[in-house]
Structure 1
Amino acid sequence: MELYTESVDYLKAHGISSVTDDETVDSDLLQDVFPEETEWVSHSPLQTEPCLPSTPTADSPDDLLQKRMVVLKGVLTSEEIYLSELETLLTPMRALRATAGTSQPVLSTDQVQTVFYQVPELRDLHKDFYTSLRTRLQPDKVTDRQAQQDPGREEGPDLQLYQAEHYLSVGDLFLKFVNQLGVYRGFIDNYENAVEIVLKCMQSDQRFRTLAESMMSSKGSDHVKTKYTFEALLYKPLDRVMKTTLVLHDLWKHTPPDHPDSITLQEALRLTSSFLSGVNERSQCKRAVMLSRGERRQLLRDGFVVDVCESGHNLRHLFLYADMLLCAKLTSAGRQAQYRFCWYLPLVGLKLHWAAEHLPSSDYQMKISKTRAKMYQLKQALQQHMKGGKGSVSRAVDRLRRKFEECEIWLLTNTPSFTLDLHSTSGKSHTVRLFSLCDLNEWKEAIEKQSGNCMETVPPDLLSVTGSCIKLRMTQQPPLHCVRSNESTHICGSLYVMVQSACGLQQPSSAYVCVEVDGFEFYDRRKQTCLSAFCVTPQWDEELVFQVDGAQQLFLVFVSQYENDTQDDIVGRAVLNLDPDNMFKKWKKVTCSLGQVDVTLSIKYVPHPLEPPSTTPLVQEPVFCVPIGQVAMQESVLVPHIVRSCVEEVERRGMTEEGIYRISGASSEIQALKHAFNTNYREAVSKLRSVDVNAVSGTLKLYFRELPLTLIPSERFKELSEALDIADPYLRADSMLSLLQALPDVNRNTLLFLLHHLRRVAARKEENKMSLSNLATVFGPSLLRPPVARVDISQEVEVQVQVIFLYLQCQNLPEALLTKHLDIDELET
């Protein structure tokens, strides 16, 4: 119940007592909302107390050996980076010694000796350890050693790998290394003197200052050059020895008890813990460290996020300083709020990648839906109690409010959202989840802006920095909407957002607009338009409907997908305030500036009491084999998105394709697109851009062919057949157009949209070999069928083809409407 405990901690930290033992908590709610979770223990990099657990984690031997190899490879990579840093630190030593005997020395001989004291010895110690460890980890040598121990055995590759990992012994290397940690004793005792010389010389000698602020070293697997300060490099050995205990602890924890290394690593862990405890008693190195250019550590941004780790999702407080990201857990000691260190990442070289999370399993979606329904019930009960008297009712109100807040924290932590992956050049990575795309974009911009101006600095005393978070934090509490008491400024009812078009893109792209609202988590608070066609003026005309309770703001984020680019690009964002006093029951047209792009949308608000949220998870309704009117109603459009998407893709790259709509695409690709359109529209549009264009045209034909009721209703077959017999071409055309106008709105506009597209295809018949008659032959039987089968099938086909052919030839064919006409009240820019 780790997550439930954390929820109570947060409430305590903000002055709200937890549910007492004599108060009954809804057992069904807790069972639904707060499952059993494993505690995720985050060790501080500065932890120096002996940390020997009673037994390693109870994983299977196979799992332990795999994790052990991951730890060992991580150690090897980290050692390589550390050696590069030591070599960079030693690079100017020879030149500084040479100038010490000249008339204009940068440093004296004694100062050079002090600054670089014990650094060469540390380099040699780690070089020997790195070389030995790398040799042990080479698969070919491990396999050879195994073969020597058991010649003649023939095993499969998986068993060979398991045995290689089992026989691999490195405990003696770590024990030998720990026994030489005395080399660090001299460096640590001398550290303060070395730093003092560096800082004084930076102030007095411009030559040394230039050197000390721009030392370059390769870092990471891609060997990217990273800029360091001299002071930061001097701190590297100090930081390295502090982390030795943690490295050994992780390695021992993932070593099976029967492994030859188990006892050796435990002894090495005891020795290094004892060594570091002694160092801590004497060390005076916890001073305030200056950053580059004389800046002190500065908090730029903070807020609550969800930290994604092995044990699950946990609510955490993230702090962005001028040189690092710090993640901490808010706890309460008695009534006083405190922070516990979780992890940190330096900003130098930090790489970011964001994405929308995939939908969870149906069972988990059901759990989210039930929690939302439970929250709705709690809010209704809370409002009823607050209308009553005082006394005993007040305790019930407090109990309901606490349970309500705990539910919202659970939803914030577990509802699918957006992930931000953070990759450090040291090889460490962390993933955090943000509650909205707008919030993610703000964090992303702030981190990228600061990391671009940041150089490697001295790692902080993380425990001290974590302790100071209480005083520095700007965000005091998680984003719980339930703690806001001024409900008079909230809106409750249906909010309609019609996203129409955008302009201002500098290059063609496929784009979508993500729309988010705040308020309670009873209903979906985030929706987005479909992906537009590749163009510089995207057109959606898509209506998004929100059920809102307690909403105050509307957030818009414009996202582009450029060709051959798998990463979505956030172009801009905007925020609209939802003032209930100025909200409108008629559509109101608004133009919003989202970065370089202007987005036109219309908004309408209809206040009304809300129905309880459904406990059935929302799933996308299928579009194939469903009446077209039903599909259009689900999408709030007049032309279904599948028709628009396929047409736009054909016009983007299929207009010159010979035999487009005549040559069939691969059946497997068409069926894959059909499945995608039925289950995940966003995935379907992505697939459209990568499959053969004939598969796109084939999908469009299949959609019309599988409609349970043809696009042109069967009851119109006889009237259309009779209209074809009219001799006068003008009268015939008028009759055909009258019958077209009499079709249902969705059928008529979809047919008009398709006809205009086919005319554009035929306009390039010299290239694609598709004339109007060819296109009518392809689409006629799919768009029109008689109410009953006729004896003369040839006559039936002739009518089908001729009807479409005459419509394609019509000179005054009306334009299609994509959405219903909006009764716009006013225009606002």
Structure 2
Amino acid sequence: MDLYQEAVDYLESQHVSVEAEVDALEEEDVFQEEAASPLLSPLHHETLDFPETLTLHSPEELLERRLVVLKGILEAEEVYLRELEALLMPMKALRAAAGTSQPLLSSRQVQTVFYQVPELRDMHQSFYSDLKARLSAYCQDEPQLSEEGETHHPGFELIVGDLFLKIVNQLGLYGGFIGNYEEAVEIVRKCSLSDERFRILAQSMMTNGSDNTRTKYTLEALLYKPLDRVTKTTLVLRDLLKTTPAEHKDYPSLQEALRLSCSFLSGVNENSQSRREVTLSHGMRRQLMRDGFVLDTSDGERSLRHLFLYTDLLLCTRFKPASRGKQDQYRFCWFLPLAGLKLQWVAEQERSADAQLRLHSIRTKMYHLRQQLRQHTGYLATRNRKKLEQMELMLLKHSPVYRLELHSPSGKSQSLLFSSLYELEDWREAVHKLTTDNLETVPPDLLTLTSACVKLRMTQQPPLHSSHDGGDEKGLCGTLTVAIHSACGLQHPACVYVCVEVDGYEFYDKQAQTHSSVRSLSPFWDQELSFQVDGAKELRVICVSQGDGQDDTVLGKAAVGLDANTLNKKWRRQTLHLGQAELTLSLKYCSHPLEPPSSTTQTQPIFCVPIDTAAQQEGVLVPHVVRCCVEEVERRGMAEVGIYRISGTTSDINSLKAAFNSNLREAVTRLRSSDVHAVSGVLKLYLRELPEPLIPAELFQSLANALDIADMNSRLIPMMSLLQSCPDTNRHTFLYLLHHLQRVSEQQEVNKMTLLNLATVFGPSLLRPPVVGAGQDGPTVDISQEVVVQVQVVFSYLQCNNLPEAQTSLPYDTDSEDETTHV
């Protein structure tokens, strides 16, 4: 449906039931200009959102709102007059040049292009001057007493109906302009193609704003302004009439003005070509590039909206599905030009306990509804499917954790929420690709643009998995484990983390992230992320650089198809090329019946638990707390005097300990900004609080006996043999720590930490004598002798020049050749 038919249908609705139509225009900011003040515009949704049952009961409240509308009308008229002046600016020069030997336009062409524009300017100038004078006089009036002695609101004395009636009676000028519009635009287009001088002029029209800012337009865009304005007249009259009490003297005049305006629009030729889209300054036609459902927070609440990305603007709408035989409709919410638009994304704060409980309740209900769907058919299945879709919509509203902030040069901002970082980045990339062209925005006809969304939309409905007919049966059902190994190819050293997402039903958490790596050109994690999946078909991987005090930056992303026929209980290694990074990961899948979603997904504590338990739940040989603390010390603590000898503050250490016990990623983020002595203190505390020492207690006496061997090389032979008998996790963690301490001592001239100093610090934590009692017998060890043994054993190991390399993670045996996916 085109511009005029849409307007006519709406305006004629005043004579019939207006339930849906009134709601539409009350919420549609369809003619709000980007630069207009939201407080003064008569068409801004915050000032015109009147419900069907009017809440402004008293005449005084209506009159106050009426004043806001009138001020907005005056502001809009001022903007429109500036646009008409800009349109007329080249007319005299073009007319003068028409009589020369090298005219840009002929006299007839000049007359056609600017037909009726001076008359329209004069008409609106007169209306603007008269309305401004009456509003100025009104603002100086004092409240008056009525004959009954009551205070009389001065708004009853503000008469403007005759002004609107006068301008509506002159709408015939617009009829001539509309009839001529097609020919005028055709002249502009043809001359722009044939004459470079005219093209430069037609693409460089400027208007001066009230704040001395200048806005660039095309000549074609300015010619479109009167078409926009003639429809706006009728809408403004309706808004003004809604805020005018029935007993006001203006009420009959405004009713008549509205009737005449409706009559004028209904007589406009529906086949006029004036409804066509305008051409942008660089020659491209406005096109729909992308659309989808997002959560909008503009009104302070999370509201599901349908977002449309056009060549030069973002349009946010509210979708109203068809009912009672009517067509689907879209209601305008807001729009932002892409020119100069700035985008920034941030992760929302961690969900509160109440929010987590709400999400768990929704997911549990969805799980049971899904189970019932698999068992029933017919009416019961249809009813359960409808309930499941309702639950998915609730989840869609409460689950998003990523916020995309949009900032326009005019100061207008909007925020959108996403549950998927991958989807957010898709939108950001699409917008960024268009904004890099430095587009100039032609003010859109939002009424036509919004009504056209029904035909143009690519996304028919929100992403509800339950709406798919049986496609989910082919997806993965069970446990999918993703091991993120390492990345390379970065152009600059960075702290990088990897976000992994899976699709399918949303009964379980579908997103997980690694901790942030140490700043490096080759980030390393070896971290396992596990997902319970139902109907999963795709894995999405996003590589993100974590900035120091700056916004996180997506380095690249990739989507990997999941096929149960190629995935099994054995690891499958893959290399993904995403952006500037090359990421190596492994996948493992185990098919099994699913249990209902658990109420908590918190990380199990790692302090005060056996080291093999912590390593097993992380899928590694060296626990992440050890690796992360070591990496951080090597990043910024190697030159710190007394590193590991000087203690950090107890509060900082306990805070980091609590973070590691609850959320690894959050802990590593805090680690990056904590005092380096607190970081070293966390490592020492972890080793000290192990229930069993890193070197098993049963080896204490054998290691003590080995110290009796005077020759160091001979002594290390039995000591290395004893080390090989340790459990894998203990041995590799101990070797990892020894290599680190050797690197620390290499800078002893700066940090004053020799191998003996380091052995003195770590000896009592790494080696302890067996506890006598509880059924265990053994020789008692003097306390002074115990400390000597602890220090000397660690010191001897540190002096070994050919220590075996530590293995930080379990081997990921694959069942086939490595795969490489290029994205």
Contact 1:627–1:709 (Cα < 8 Å) also in 2: yes
Shift of 1:749: 2.3
1:765 and 1:130 map into 2 onto residues whose CA distance is: 81
Aligned to 1:282: 264
Q: TM-score, normalised by structure 1?
A: 0.76
Shift of 1:549: 1.1
Aligned to 2:287: 298
Secondary structure at the aligned position of 2:683 is classed as helix
Shift of 1:610: 1.3
Check 1:813–1:83 CA distance in 2 against 1; reply closer, same or farther (3 A cut): farther
What is the one-letter code of the residue matched to 2:484?
Answer: V
Shift of 1:739: 3.3
Deviations 1:190-215 (A, max 9, x none): 76457854651342243222122234
Shift of 1:541: 0.8
1:83 and 1:795 map into 2 onto residues whose CA distance is: 96
What is the one-letter code of the residue matched to 2:742?
Answer: R
1:178 and 1:670 map into 2 onto residues whose CA distance is: 76
Contact 1:202–1:208 (Cα < 8 Å) also in 2: no
Aligned to 2:358: 367
Aligned to 1:547: 532
Q: Does 1:378 align with 2:378?
A: no
Q: Does 1:43 align with 2:32?
A: no
1:170 and 1:808 map into 2 onto residues whose CA distance is: 92
Aligned to 1:228: 217
Check 1:771–1:191 CA distance in 2 against 1; reply closer, same or farther (3 A cut): farther
Aligned to 1:61: none
Shift of 1:521: 0.8
Contact 1:358–1:416 (Cα < 8 Å) also in 2: no
Q: Does 1:798 align with 2:788?
A: yes
Aligned to 2:345: 354
1:220 and 1:659 map into 2 onto residues whose CA distance is: 64
What is the one-letter code of the residue matched to 2:715?
Answer: R
Contact 2:288–2:311 (Cα < 8 Å) also in 1: yes
Contact 2:503–2:510 (Cα < 8 Å) also in 1: yes
Check 1:190–1:530 CA distance in 2 against 1; reply closer, same or farther (3 A cut): farther
What is the one-letter code of the residue matched to 1:289?
Answer: E
Comparing 110-119 and 411-420, the one that deviates more: 110-119
1:131 and 1:657 map into 2 onto residues whose CA distance is: 75
Secondary structure at the aligned position of 2:497 is classed as strand
Aligned to 2:381: 397
Check 1:819–1:269 CA distance in 2 against 1; reply closer, same or farther (3 A cut): farther
Shift of 1:183: 7.7
2:130 and 2:653 map into 1 onto residues whose CA distance is: 60
Contact 1:638–1:749 (Cα < 8 Å) also in 2: yes
Shift of 1:75: 11
Unaligned runs of 5+ in 2: 1-23, 33-41, 57-64, 141-152, 773-779
What is the one-letter code of the residue matched to 2:495?
Answer: S
Check 1:650–1:228 CA distance in 2 against 1; reply closer, same or farther (3 A cut): farther
Contact 1:316–1:330 (Cα < 8 Å) also in 2: no
Deviations 1:56-83 (A, max 9, x none): 879xxxxxxxx99x99999999999989
Deviations 1:768-812 (A, max 9, x none): 222222222233333344456999654443333223222221222
What is the one-letter code of the residue matched to 1:316?
Answer: R
2:687 and 2:212 map into 1 onto residues whose CA distance is: 51
Comparing 464-473 and 188-197, the one that deviates more: 188-197
Secondary structure at the aligned position of 1:333 is classed as coil
Aligned to 2:542: 557
Give the 5 Å matches for 1:431-450: 431-450=415-434
Deviations 1:441-498 (A, max 9, x none): 2222112112333633433333333333232222233222222313552221111111
Shift of 1:329: 1.0
Deviations 1:352-374 (A, max 9, x none): 22223333221121121122111
Q: Does 1:741 align with 2:730?
A: no
Shift of 1:550: 0.9
1:267 and 1:792 map into 2 onto residues whose CA distance is: 106
Q: Does 1:779 align with 2:762?
A: yes
Q: Does 1:570 align with 2:554?
A: yes
Aligned to 1:491: 476
Comparing 316-325 and 691-700, the one that deviates more: 691-700
Secondary structure at the aligned position of 1:282 is classed as helix
Q: Does 1:818 align with 2:803?
A: no
Aligned to 1:643: 626
Contact 1:116–1:194 (Cα < 8 Å) also in 2: no
Check 1:448–1:75 CA distance in 2 against 1; reply closer, same or farther (3 A cut): farther
Contact 1:90–1:120 (Cα < 8 Å) also in 2: no
Deviations 1:106-158 (A, max 9, x none): 46585668556665997999999999999xxxxxxxxxx9xxxxxxxxxxxxx
Contact 1:492–1:549 (Cα < 8 Å) also in 2: yes
2:624 and 2:379 map into 1 onto residues whose CA distance is: 52
Contact 1:552–1:579 (Cα < 8 Å) also in 2: yes
Comparing 360-369 and 646-655, the one that deviates more: 646-655
2:637 and 2:234 map into 1 onto residues whose CA distance is: 62
2:705 and 2:251 map into 1 onto residues whose CA distance is: 94
Give the 5 Å matches for 1:433-582: 433-453=417-437, 455-482=439-466, 483-563=468-548, 566-582=550-566
2:523 and 2:672 map into 1 onto residues whose CA distance is: 16
Give the 5 Å matches for 1:224-263: 227-235=216-224
2:244 and 2:72 map into 1 onto residues whose CA distance is: 19
2:606 and 2:72 map into 1 onto residues whose CA distance is: 49
User: Which residue among 667, 689, 698 is the counterpart of 2:681?
Assistant: 698
1:712 and 1:127 map into 2 onto residues whose CA distance is: 91
1:598 and 1:305 map into 2 onto residues whose CA distance is: 30
Aligned to 1:809: 799
Q: Which has the higher contact order (CA 8 A, sep 6+)?
A: 1
What is the one-letter code of the residue matched to 1:810?
Answer: C
2:404 and 2:809 map into 1 onto residues whose CA distance is: 36
Secondary structure at the aligned position of 2:376 is classed as helix
Q: Does 1:751 align with 2:734?
A: yes
What is the one-letter code of the residue matched to 1:733?
Answer: L
Contact 1:232–1:456 (Cα < 8 Å) also in 2: no
Contact 1:220–1:426 (Cα < 8 Å) also in 2: no
What is the one-letter code of the residue matched to 1:433?
Answer: L
Shift of 1:723: 3.1
2:702 and 2:69 map into 1 onto residues whose CA distance is: 77
Give the 5 Å matches for 1:625-774: 625-666=608-649, 669-774=652-757
Contact 1:303–1:475 (Cα < 8 Å) also in 2: yes
Q: TM-score, normalised by structure 2?
A: 0.76
1:213 and 1:367 map into 2 onto residues whose CA distance is: 54
Contact 1:245–1:272 (Cα < 8 Å) also in 2: no
User: Which residue among 598, 604, 607 is the counterpart of 2:588?
Assistant: 604
Shift of 1:320: 1.9
Percent identity between the two aligned chains: 50
Secondary structure at the aligned position of 2:296 is classed as strand
Aligned to 2:36: none
Secondary structure at the aligned position of 1:495 is classed as strand
Comparing 732-741 and 189-198, the one that deviates more: 189-198
What is the one-letter code of the residue matched to 2:343?
Answer: L
Shift of 1:308: 2.8
2:617 and 2:800 map into 1 onto residues whose CA distance is: 32
Aligned to 2:148: none
**What is the alpha-carbon root mean square deviation over aligned residues?**
4.9
Contact 1:226–1:349 (Cα < 8 Å) also in 2: no
Check 1:87–1:535 CA distance in 2 against 1; reply closer, same or farther (3 A cut): farther
What is the one-letter code of the residue matched to 2:790?
Answer: Q
Deviations 1:30-52 (A, max 9, x none): xxxxxxxxx99843425999975
Aligned to 1:314: 303
Larger Rg: 2
1:804 and 1:362 map into 2 onto residues whose CA distance is: 45
Contact 2:476–2:562 (Cα < 8 Å) also in 1: yes
1:229 and 1:189 map into 2 onto residues whose CA distance is: 23
1:54 and 1:731 map into 2 onto residues whose CA distance is: 94
Contact 2:81–2:121 (Cα < 8 Å) also in 1: no
